[in-house]
Amino acid sequence: MTEITTYETLQAALDALAPELADRAAEMEDARRLPADLAGKMAAAGAFRMMTPKAYGGLELTAREFVEGVAQVAEANASAGWCSMIACTTSMNAAYMAPEVAAEIYSAPLTITGGVFAPMGRAEVEGDGYRVTGRWQWGSGSANCSWLAGGCMVFENGELKRLPSGAPDQRMMVFPASEATLHDTWHVMGLKGTGSGDISVENILVPRARSVSLIT
């Protein structure tokens, strides 16, 4: 396959993959998730790296190109399109991290990331990091991810931490998928193939450098 380095090469790769995405829609619905081999093919086609910064080998597309790319996948297979969107939007966390930390997570060309932005978790300040516990609904595509993220409300000494504006401090915590538990809670009628079950972590330590604030 041609190396995916531009919007045009992405479009060509997604066009080539579209027949298989369409043909396997029923398989995905039966499995209630994106099959691992198909996720690998989507990764090779660039479907998960549309918004990853160029510094880490991503395409860093414009907003319009990104929407068009996801639509291209979704026209062939709606569930695959949704998984593409989740992976791409969570990869934007790279832009808010120190380069050396982001490179560790996002530079591998076939890396797939996922997670949930809603601050359903709790992160207690501990040294130069956070002690994190939480459970997040709708973790689409998580079964194929090597890294996951979950939004958390931040606490310090048992008290909700606030920003200078007075708003509650909330951050995305990024952690290896191996530290999370995936729960088989996805029994639905629509987008059945997205594998959008719950994600949970219990008492894991996330370094501050692997946390991201999208509001400061």
Provide the phi-psi class of 209: left if phi over 0, else alpha when psi is between -120 and 50, else beta.
alpha
Answer yes or no: is 2 within a domain: no
User: According to DSSP H, which parts of 52-148 are helical?
Assistant: 63-76, 78-91, 99-106
Are 87 and 159 part of one and the same domain? no
pLDDT in tens, 92-150: 999 999 999 999 999 999 999 999 999 999 999 999 999 999 999 999 999 999 999 99
Please give the structure tokens belonging to residue 77.
């297979």
Assign residue 42 the CATH number of its domain. 1.10.540.10
Domain boundary among the residues 54, 77, 106 is at 106
**96 vs 54: CA distance, rounded Å:** 14
**170 vs 167: CA distance, rounded Å:** 9
Answer yes or no: is 1 within a domain: no
59: containing domain: 7-96+101-106
* Rg from Cα positions in the chain: 17
DSSP code of residue 141 = T
Domain boundary among the residues 43, 77, 106 is at 106
Q: What is the pTM of this model?
A: 0.95
Domain boundary among the residues 58, 80, 106 is at 106
